[in-house]
Amino acid sequence: MHIIVASHNLFRRELSSFILSEAGYTVHEATDSTSLCDYLHGMNPDLVLLDSHLLDKESQYLVQHLHQLATVPVMFLTSSHGIAESATSWHTHATSYLTWPYEAQDLLAHVQALIGDQTMCAASMADIVQTESV
């Protein structure tokens, strides 16, 4: 299973990638909307985790690509609890969203629900839960 983690924030991107790779997923990291779009052109990911700040920077370009990928689930990662963030996530065809900070088990549960890969998540969730709040 291939997951793209797209975030401008190095800590959040690497920590989310670590949690997912420890759970057995193949993770690709995108630092901006251009690198995310490059990944989207070159592969067919099973899931995209998208930091809300990437939409702020180059939203028109990125949202256009996300609309073309209606079959790929998109989980919107946000540090805001506001209604505007929630509304923005749905306008980008986000399937789900998760608010930062989040626990490793919450991230894995969302991923499992979105891509239905229960064997990977269930087998390694106990190991990864050792990681405190993300």
Between 86 and 96, residue with greater pLDDT: 96
Class at the top of the CATH hierarchy for domain 2-128 = alpha beta
The domain locations on the chain are 2-128
Amino acid in the structure at residue 74: V
pTM for the full model?
0.77
Pairwise pLDDT comparison (61 vs 99), residue with the higher score? 99
| Residue 45 β-bridge partners | none
Q: What is the pLDDT of residues 6-64, one digit of tens each?
A: 999 999 999 999 999 999 999 999 998 888 888 888 888 999 998 877 776 555 567 66
